[in-house]
Chains A and B, each alone.
Chain A
Amino acid sequence: GAVVSQHPSWVICKSGTSVKIECRSLDFQATTMFWYRQFPKQSLMLMATSNEGSKATYEQGVEKDKFLINHASLTLSTLTVTSAHPEDSSFYICSLPPSGATYNEQFFGPGTRLTVL
């Protein structure tokens, strides 16, 4: 399967600051990447679909001005949590489909645990 990396794996920040999370596809080019959020003992919730060269598509209820997504290249997508608050503390995971537009299979990154104090 595809190898997906995320950086950092764990970050603690103060309330009001911004945090950038990187998602990289290591072995193939990805025009699409997904960003999920997972609260403890809850399932994955899709936040947005990151599209290379164009604007991200956000799910209903996700603030696009708060969660900035930039798909700068075919191997890198970044999620910036702006003006973070304690309720933004969560596990953020990116994923990418192997090919095509079916999006049925996804390869997930290792996740980034964000703690906002």
Chain B
Amino acid sequence: QKEVEQDPGPLSVPEGAIVSLNCTYSNSAFQYFMWYRQYSRKGPELLMYTYSSGNKEDGRFTAQVDKSSKYISLFIRDSQPSDSATYLCAMSAGGGFKTIFGAGTRLFVKA
């Protein structure tokens, strides 16, 4: 079993839709949870960074962490064609432990 599981998609939605992206994990030591966006043939860029459980909102993006279920989500409201990219979840136990990345979900937002 992989430490981090993420459905690779692709996920195709119409413009304006609410997008839900998810990851599950097995290591209960993970405390730091990140979402990265990666455009084709580019390096990932950090979107959201959350410590422990709870929600965090930034503009159209909301990150949720449920440590009891070992489940994290990223919601994108009012999705735009420019949101079309691969979204990678990532998590770490902190304290110098390495970050583990999910496989990434490819998202297509159609105009």
Given known contacts A44-B44, A46-B98, A111-B41, is B34 in contact with A105 (CB within 8 Å)?
Answer: yes
Once bound together, how far apart are the Cα atoms of A1 and B49, in whole Å? 13
| Majority DSSP secondary structure for residues of B touching A | loop
Chain B residues whose C-beta falls within 8 Å of the C-beta of A109 in the assembled complex = 43
Stretch touching chain B among A13-21, A66-74, A80-88, A96-104: A96-104
Chain B residues whose C-beta falls within 8 Å of the C-beta of A107 in the assembled complex = 46
Q: A106: CB under 8 A from chain B?
A: yes
Once bound together, how far apart are the Cα atoms of A111 and B45, in whole Å? 12
A108 touches B45 (CB 8 A): yes
Chain B residues whose C-beta falls within 8 Å of the C-beta of A44 in the assembled complex = 44, 88, 101
Q: A54: CB under 8 A from chain B?
A: no
How far is the CB of B102 from the nearest CB of chain A, in Å?
A: 6
Q: B60: CB under 8 A from chain A?
A: no
- By the criterion of a CB under 8 Å from any partner CB, how many residues of chain B are at the interface? 25
- By the criterion of a CB under 8 Å from any partner CB, how many residues of chain A are at the interface? 24
Q: A114: CB under 8 A from chain B?
A: no
A103 touches B99 (CB 8 A): yes
B96 touches A102 (CB 8 A): yes
Once bound together, how far apart are the Cα atoms of A4 and B99, in whole Å? 18
Once bound together, how far apart are the Cα atoms of A111 and B38, in whole Å? 11
Q: A residues near B, CB below 8 A?
A: 1, 4, 6, 41-44, 46, 49, 91, 93, 95, 101-111, 113
12 A-B contacts, Cβ less than 8 Å apart? A41-B8, A41-B103, A41-B106, A43-B6, A43-B103, A46-B99, A49-B98, A93-B43, A93-B44, A104-B94, A105-B34, A107-B46
